[in-house]
Amino acid sequence: MFRGRAFGLLKSLHLMDGQPNLACKFIHPAITSHVHHCQKRNVNYRQSYKTGPSSAGGRTLNVPQTKVMAEQELPGVLILDIGGIHGVLPNIVALLQKHFRLITMKEFLENKKEMSKKIQSVFVFERRPTIDQELLESLPNLKVIANSGVGVDHLDLKMISNFGVKVTNTPHAVADTTADIGMALMLASARRLVEGCQIVISPDTKYFAVDWLGVEVTRATLGIIGMGNIGYKVAQRAKAFEMKILYHNRNQRKKEEEQAVGAHYCEKMEDLLQQSDFVMLALNLTPETCKLIGKRELGLMKPTATLINISRGAVIDQDALVEALQKKVIMAAALDVTDPEPLPRDHPLLKLNNIIITPHIGTATVQAIRMMAEEAIANMLAVLNGQPIPSEVFPK
Ligand SMILES: O=C(O)[C@H](O)CO
């Protein structure tokens, strides 16, 4: 529901649907004369530009320049249908159009023979389009699948690589925003914000805060499982809350990050689970991390502890979590991700009162979505131009 709202907001900010001349509305003023020139010549233009300080709240990524070219000369990118509630957001379309000839799924399916040869990359947004064998077989000139987002658990990396196609993701664009959601969930759960809101709007106006006391985040112990880009950003924020920070990484100790935020490495995840007041999951979903947190791990946590998940739902054994929350093995959980998404309305997790669930909104901000598109564009251009690829993902 919240995700729907977030995208509704985006749509209202950029109230446009997929008109063919959409890029005109976003074009940099400095290049308008060139646009007019192209229009006079009846050429469908695309204009090079530097992203510069964008609306991304001061955070910018360098997207390489693309030369001015007629649309038909630009590399083709397969995207979801523009517009409609499942479409790619119009502002992202505008960014992509500056570098690529966009081919919608509809266009592709209607004219497969011609379109399939033009497509050199696929832009994956919100896990779509589905990349399966059939699609890969039908795209002989495909070079790169650019995922918008860091998690690539929805892509069969081995199969894609067997087609000689590269996969990229956007680890930098998502880090701050996802870490913010981790902090928001931790604070909301600890201070019982959702219950507080419900009490305020309930017909019973006599309420006493002492009846639903929360716990403090400040100076509590936070255990981060997965100290990658996102985990580190969480640690930076936790430092400002004077938290004791523990972390566990399955493969790599991060000494520099440890020093920067004063984090302590737990070689054994069990130690972290036993000592933490808040356990935050910020790791990738892989076959090795699937159901990493099950009955045994929950049993190791303090009965006063809270489990927060900003990675993927499947890293937790959800049946075990339901039981642990019902029996108060742990105090609470706060999840931005579940398995599946959304949960069926009658799912037992939705019946508990010691849980907060948000609908996978870790990256659902105006700024993050734009930066993810910019990072994906930089990746695609690098692959197509034979340059070093900023964020390539390799099959294991
Ligand atoms: O993987 C990610 O970065 C987020 O979940 C957005 O898809």
What mean pLDDT value characterizes the chain?
Answer: 85
Q: Is the pLDDT of residue 354 over 70?
A: yes
How far is 68 from 99, CA to CA, in rounded Å? 9
The ipTM assigned to this model is 0.95
* Beta partners for residue 332, in sequence order: 306
The set of catalytic residues is 312, 341, 360
Tell me the three state secondary structure of residue 148. strand
Tell me the three state secondary structure of residue 323. helix
pLDDT band at 29 (very low <50, low <70, confident <90, very high): very low
Cα of 298 from ligand 1 centre, angstroms = 25
For tokens 């849980």, the residue is: 355
Cα of 177 from ligand 1 centre, angstroms = 10
Beta strands in 64-191 (DSSP E): 69-70, 76-79, 101-104, 119-125, 144-148, 166-168
User: Cis omega (within 30 of 0) on the bond before 29?
Assistant: no
- The continuous run of DSSP H or E covering 40 comes out as helix 32-40
How far is 304 from 331, CA to CA, in rounded Å? 5
Cα of 31 from ligand 1 centre, angstroms = 34
* Beta partners for residue 293, in sequence order: 316
Weakest-pLDDT range from 39-43, 72-76, 311-315, 321-325: 39-43
pLDDT band at 308 (very low <50, low <70, confident <90, very high): very high
DSSP per-residue string spanning 200-266: HHSS-----GGGG-----TT-EEEEE--SHHHHHHHHHHHHTT-EEEEE-SS---HHHHHHHTEEE-
Single-letter amino acid code for the residue at 118: K
- The continuous run of DSSP H or E covering 384 comes out as helix 366-384
Sign of the alpha-carbon torsion through 181, 186, 187, 189 = positive
Mutation choice for ligand 1 from 150, 337, 341, 358, CB with most ligand atoms inside 8 A: 150
**Per residue in 116-146, pLDDT tens?**
999 999 999 999 999 999 999 999 999 999 9
Cα of 372 from ligand 1 centre, angstroms = 10
User: Is the CB–ligand 1 distance for residue 174 below 6 Å?
Assistant: yes
Q: Which pLDDT score, from 0 to 100, does residue 30 have?
A: 26
Instruction: Please list, in sequence order, all residues whose beta carbon lies within 8 angstroms of the beta carbon of residue 273, skipping any fewer than 6 positions away.
Output: 223, 279, 297, 300, 301
User: Is the CB–ligand 1 distance for residue 75 below 6 Å?
Assistant: no
pLDDT band at 31 (very low <50, low <70, confident <90, very high): very low
Mutation choice for ligand 1 from 174, 309, 361, CB with most ligand atoms inside 8 A: 174
User: Is the CB–ligand 1 distance for residue 149 below 6 Å?
Assistant: yes
pLDDT band at 60 (very low <50, low <70, confident <90, very high): low
* Beta partners for residue 280, in sequence order: 224, 308
Average pLDDT over residues 196-204: 87
pLDDT band at 11 (very low <50, low <70, confident <90, very high): very low
| Higher per-residue confidence, 375 vs 88 | 375
Average pLDDT over residues 38-42: 32
Mutation choice for ligand 1 from 170, 178, 230, 289, CB with most ligand atoms inside 8 A: 178
How far is 387 from 378, CA to CA, in rounded Å? 10
Single-letter amino acid code for the residue at 352: L
How far is 307 from 59, CA to CA, in rounded Å? 30
Cα of 40 from ligand 1 centre, angstroms = 42
pTM tops 0.90: no
User: Is the CB–ligand 1 distance for residue 363 below 6 Å?
Assistant: yes
Q: Which pLDDT score, from 0 to 100, does residue 240 have?
A: 98
How far is 140 from 135, CA to CA, in rounded Å? 10
The atom number, within ligand 1, closest to the CA of 149 reads: 3
Q: How far is CA 297 from the centre of its chain?
A: 26
User: Is the CB–ligand 1 distance for residue 151 below 6 Å?
Assistant: yes
Weakest-pLDDT range from 154-163, 197-206, 263-272, 310-319: 197-206
For tokens 């791990």, the residue is: 297
The atom number, within ligand 1, closest to the CA of 152 reads: 1
pLDDT band at 18 (very low <50, low <70, confident <90, very high): very low
Cα of 358 from ligand 1 centre, angstroms = 14
Q: Is the pLDDT of residue 307 over 50?
A: yes
The atom number, within ligand 1, closest to the CA of 171 reads: 3
| Residue having the nearest C-alpha atom to atom 3 of ligand 1 | 149
Q: What percent of the chain has pLDDT above 90?
A: 74
